[in-house]
Each structure stands twice: as structure tokens, then as C-alpha cells.
Structure 1
Amino acid sequence: MPEGDTVWQAARRLHAALAGRVLTRADLRVPRFATADLTGRAVLDVTPRGKHLLTRIDGGLTLHSHLRMDGAWKVYATGERPRGGPEHQIRAVLGNEEHTAYGYRLPVLELIRTAEESKVVGHLGPDLLGPDWDPAEAVRRLLADPGRALGEALLDQRNLAGIGNVYKSELAFLAAFTPWLPVGELPADVPPRLMATAHRLLEANKERPDRRTTTTRRPRTPLYVYGREGRPCLRCGAAVRKAELGDRVTYWCPGCQTGPAAESSDPPPHHN
């Protein structure tokens, strides 16, 4: 699932290609909006909200999309052949004289009134990359259910918007607690530090082509634990583990992180 920094980058690409220009081509390939004609209207802006994309169009309309697990927006020069996947995976086409954007495998695509955007994003918590970022409110929401596992609370977009599976695992590692620890058992100073770290990492990575959470200079080690099951922890050397947390996998280090753990499903350790 894309993280908030990935969605921010997608919004920036779409905004640069579409904003301030009149649509000469618009094709929404979902039954409910297939007959909508947006040609002749100007795109006003493309704004990310957590993991949601809001493409605002002249006339008080917003095209709302969500990438979920494998959706993507690709931008090409108008007339250039798109290469984002098979033709049948294209759910939306927005084009002007210079650029054309193709939305691939979009599980959520709907045309709504701009005045009614709150119906699709109003439930979200403070946006880590938005102007509304409020760390105190994010902490309040995170701790609202003390018995909830840390990893699940971080993933809940109603608490704070922008955390996906990668940052969930990395933040729990940096906090030194397992993703299964109930948030009510965190020391009082940890949630504010966790929110500050989350904000710092997403801000730093929104401008990078490759996401990094580590400070190590070792090659091919941009992340501490995510995707590193069986490999030595970069801090203590223990084998990183992987297990289920809800409907997603999570990664953690048994040497660095305190708290309960699920039964792991590790591959054999690497010995590189």
C-alpha cells in the first residue's frame, strides 16, 4: 500500500502536468461516471490528503482517487504511448495539449462536488504532510483506544493520515516497542516522540526517489526492518522477524523492541 510520501509525490507530478490547463481529453472508465464530460474544463489543482488524491476541476468538481495496494497515476507527453500496464487496467485518462495522465488499477475513482470533499476525506486524522498537521491531536487519537496494538493504531488513517505498512514497521522499531504492544502501555514520552519522528521521516522522504529511514552508510540498507526478515538487525545483529498483524505482515527486531510478539513466519536467516 502506498505511503503518504508516495501519494504526495504523485500529486506533485499530476499538479505539474495538469493544473492551470484545460482538459482536451477526459475519460473515466468506471460505469457510474463513464458518461461524464470534463473536456473544456481547467484543472485547478491536485491535492493529496493522506493517501487520497483530490483533482479539483473548474465548475466545482473533484475527481477523488485512492491508490490502495497497486494503483498508480502515470504522466506522459500527449501523444506518447503509455507504459503503465495493459490498456484494460486504465481507469482514468486526463489530458491537455502537453501532458496526459493515466490512472492504472485505481480501486477508488469517483467524481464529486468539491464542496462535498469532506464526505470522502473528512474522517481522516491530521495529515502528516498537510497544512493541518497537529501532533497533539494525532497523539490524542492514537491513544484513544489504550488496548489497541501500536501497529494497528498507526495504520488507522482516522488517527493520523499517511502511515502505511512500511512506516508502521519502521516507526515501531525506532520507538523500540513491538507493533503488538497496546498503545496504553507506551511510556508517556513515546507517543509525542513517535509523531515527531513520523513527521520528520515523511517530510524528508517526500522529495526522495527512494525511501530511507536509516542513517547508516551501509549499501542497500535504506530501512531498518521492513522487508529484511531473516537478516541481521542493523543495530543489534539479531535476525529481523516477520509475522501477521491484522491483515498485513509486519517486521520487527526481537533484540531492539520491547513488548509482546506474534508467532513469526521467518525464512532461514541470511548469513551475508
Structure 2
Amino acid sequence: MPEGDTVYQAARRLHTALAGQVLTRSDLRVPRFATADLTGRAVLDVTPRGKHLLTRIEGGLTLHSHLRMDGSWRIFAAGERWNGGPAHQIRAILANAGHTAVGYRLPVLELLRTRDETKAVGHLGPDLLGPDWDAEIALRNLLSDPGRPLGQALLDQRNLAGVGNVFKSEICFALRVVPWLEIGQLPAPERVVDTAKRLLEANKDRPVRQAYIYGRANRPCPRCRTPIRTTMERDPQGRERPTYWCPTCQPSPTL
């Protein structure tokens, strides 16, 4: 599931394959930008911003993409067979002499002026893995609504950028609190941003994300061996997502 750590890794792979190279092929398979032709332009850099990817291209252009639940960018060597999914799922192709980047199932893909990037990502809070990370601003954002459940506050990218449903559960487990605890009731709330930063930093270079309780329903807690529980909750966009917690290590005020 793409979150700040996996988007960071995707940006690094794309940057390595594309940056500094002239595009020999571009194909944006979304109606609004289907006629855009980026061939002959060099890719300047690929930068992650929370869960967003910004591919900056010569001439003041930025290709903005977001992976959401199941989107992906795959990198292939020249002549290598593509294997990221059926052709009808391809939304973007960027190629140079040595590599081809293919975007599969991208729910967000738009071409904009680099000077207008804030229209796509300006609403985001400090990026946990970015150069703009500011723990004080992130904490202030989180505490601006003290009655909000901690899990919902963590998922709100306007507070801090990069936490998704997996890290929501993992951060709460590390803090020994349930995700539905009101953030204003959390002792030493600065621990939230410190823990979020530590967990994403620890996973940004891992080929396989380290998760202690996410996806481990009914399996023993790594601390106390109590079976992990799960429930479905709505995220800030209204989508049903699973939440995992240990009823012993994370005593609940409501469940």
C-alpha cells in the first residue's frame, strides 16, 4: 500500500532512471493531456511530496501523479518486456535511451506548470521524509482540533504528509494508544510526530516494510502475545479501512 516510505522509494527509482536524460517517448493516457508531447525535453528531477510524485521536466513543466491504493510506476530497461499489468491499465509512459517508466492504474495524473505545483500539493502539511519537515508545525496542525481521533488526524495530509492507513496503526501501537483516542487527551503529544518520523525514516530504505501489527489480525501481539484485533473505520475521504490494535497494550476507552 503506497505511503510516504514507498512513494519516497518510487521517486528515487524514477529519478535514477529518468533525471538528466532526454525523453524519447511520452504518452499520457488521460483525456485531458492525451495530446501533450514531452519528447525532446530532459527530465530534471523526480521529487516525492508526501504521497505525491512530482516529475519536473525541462521547459517549466511538472507531471504530477498520485498512487493512492494500487497505482504504481514501473521501470524497465530498454527492450525489456513490461509486466506491471494489462495495457489498458497504463496511464503514462516516459522513456529515454536507456529506460522506460510506465505508470499503471494511476488515479491522479496531470501536467502542470512547475510554478503552479502548489495547486496540487500546497495543501499538504510538512513532509515526514522531505526537506520541509518541521515537527513543530506538524504538532501544531495535529492539535488544532483536539477533539479529533488520533488516527483520523494522522491520516489528514493537511496536518503532516506521508502517513497512510498502515502507519496509522503502527504509530498508535508504538505509542500504546488506540487510534480513536482524542488527540487532545494524549499525554506528551509531541511523541506522535517523533514516532511518525522515526517509523517512516526506518522504512524508507527497506525493500519490505516492517510492520508489527498491521495485517496481523488474530495473531499474537509482538509485545504481550494477546491476539491482535481489527475493526473497520472510515478515513478522511469516507473510505472504509481496517484498523489494527492490541487490546492489552492499547487499552481502549470505547471498545
**2:214 is matched with which residue?**
226
Is the 1:151–1:245 Cα contact (8 Å) retained in structure 2?
no
* CA displacement at 1:224 relative to structure 2: 2.0
Letter paired with 2:195:
T
Deviations 1:139-168 (A, max 9, x none): 111111111111111111001000011110
Question: Does the CA contact (< 8 Å) of 1:178 and 1:261 recur in 2?
Answer: no
The 2-side partners of 1:233 and 1:27 are apart by 47
CA–CA distance in structure 1, aligned partners of residues 11 and 155 of structure 2: 21
Match of 2:244 among 238, 243, 251: 251
Residue 50 of structure 1 pairs with residue 43 of structure 2: no
Asked if residue 195 in structure 1 is aligned to residue 190 in structure 2, the reply is no
Q: How far is the alpha carbon of 1:78 from its aligned partner?
A: 1.7
RMSD: 0.9
Q: Secondary structure at the match of 1:178?
A: coil
Amino acid at match of 2:44: L
Q: Tell me the CA shift for residue 238 of structure 1.
A: 1.2
**TM-score, length-normalised on structure 1?**
0.90
Moved over 4 A (4+): none
Q: Counterparts of 2:252 and 2:159 in 1: how far apart (Å)?
A: 22
Question: Structure 1 79/248 Cα, relative in aligned 2: closer, same or farther at 3 Å?
Answer: same
1:209 equivalent among 207, 210, 215: 207
Equivalent residue runs for 1:1-272 within 5 Å? 1-187=1-187, 189=188, 191-212=189-210, 223-246=211-234, 247-262=240-255
State whether residues 54 and 64 of structure 1, in contact with CA within 8 Å, keep that contact through their aligned partners in structure 2. Answer: yes
> Which AA in structure 1 matches 2:227?
A
8 A contact 1:124–1:158 mirrored in 2: yes
Cα distance in structure 2, aligned partners of 1:232 and 1:97: 50
2-side partners of 1:70 and 1:250: how far apart? 19
The two structures have a TM-score, normalised by structure 2, of 0.96
1: CA distance between counterparts of 2:18 and 2:163? 27
Residue 194 of structure 1 and its aligned partner are, at CA, apart by 1.9
Letter matched to residue 226 of structure 1 = Y
3-state DSSP class of the match of 1:17?
helix
> Counterpart of 1:6 in structure 2: which amino acid?
T
Shift of 1:261: 4.3
Identify unmatched segments of 5+ residues in structure 1: 213-222, 263-272
Letter in 2 for 1:255: T
How many correspondences in the alignment?
Answer: 250
Q: Secondary structure of 1:39's partner?
A: coil
1:65 match: secondary structure? strand
Show the counterpart of 1:266: none
CA separation in 1, counterparts of 2:251 and 2:148?
16
Q: Cα distance, 1:258 vs. partner?
A: 2.8
